[in-house]
Amino acid sequence: MKIVMLGAPGAGKGTQAKMIAAKYEVPHISTGDIFRANIKNGTELGRKAKEYMDQGLLVPDELTVDLVIDRLSQEDCKKGYILDGFPRTIPQAEALDAALAKRGEKMDYAIDVDVPDENIVNRMSGRRACTGCGATYHIVHNPSGKGDVCEVCGEVLVLRDDDKPETVQKRLTVYHDQTQPLIDYYTTQGILKAVDGTQDMNDVFTAITKILEA
């Protein structure tokens, strides 16, 4: 079960990816998590990635492709995996397909969590991230029980720069320019499946499991 999750930033594809990973016991591989870990640890990759992310821009291919391919070679990916945040562009998708083909493998599904831009701007401006452990909340849909501090570690919650409305709008523009073509790419391959991401989180998950178990 090799799955690519598609959808605009804030569409909820990361949440769905985690739920799928838990149900089917395969790793959830998020480039965002990899980048954030590098940023927190102050690595060279992290510093480079942060420069792009703070501006709402995509991290360049050369910083991501080798990193992801190496991750897919690890033991825990043998049963499958869910890619979240990669590929973001046609060249990345082609590089991924080429690397998998060398191993006699290919992607099984590309799942598009479809949400209109307006909904996404509203969703993301309500997000809050913990400055300590990185846990995320939402002031409407998933507030911290401790107000503006994290339930897990007690550190302060903040609106990240890349969740501010002006940055979100820029990220959406970049998404439509660079990532949306992947929908056509995977449609041509016959593996694209779209779900309505405006539904309740559990209803979206039910729709996805029906696709995977059809």
Pair 111, 193: CB distance under 8 Å = yes
Phi, psi at residue 138, to the nearest 5°? -140, 135
Please report the beta strands in the chain, taking only residues with DSSP state E, as ranges in sequence order.
2-6, 28-30, 81-84, 109-114, 127-130, 136-138, 157-158, 192-196
Residues annotated as catalytic (active site), given as ranges: 13, 88, 127, 160, 171
List residues bridging with 156 in a β-sheet: 149
Instruction: Tell me the pLDDT band of 73, cut-offs 50, 70 and 90.
Output: confident
Q: What pLDDT was estimated at residue 45? A: 80
Q: What is the pTM of this model?
A: 0.75
* Whole-number Cα distances in Å, 151 to 12, 76, 137, 143: 21, 30, 10, 10
Residue 98 reports pLDDT greater than 80: yes
Instruction: Tell me the pLDDT band of 154, cut-offs 50, 70 and 90.
Output: very high
* Whole-number Cα distances in Å, 78 to 9, 58, 147: 28, 29, 41
Please write the tens of the pLDDT for every residue from 101-110: 988 999 999 9
Instruction: Tell me the pLDDT band of 173, cut-offs 50, 70 and 90.
Output: very high
Rounded to whole angstroms, how far apart are CA atoms 191 and 176? 20
- Give Dmax (Cα) for the chain: 50
Preceding omega of 60 cis (within 30 degrees of 0): no
90-102 and 61-72 helices cross at what angle (nearest 10)? 30
Mean pLDDT of the chain: 91
Please write the tens of the pLDDT for every residue from 106-152: 999 999 999 999 999 988 899 999 999 989 999 988 899 999 999 99
Residue 67 reports pLDDT greater than 80: no
Query: What domains does the chain contain, in order, with CATH numbers?
Result: 2-124+164-212 (3.40.50.300), 126-162 (no CATH)
Return the structure tokens found at 160.
């990240």
Rounded to whole angstroms, how far apart are CA atoms 59 and 35? 9
Q: What pLDDT was estimated at residue 187? A: 97
Rounded to whole angstroms, how far apart are CA atoms 15 and 10? 10
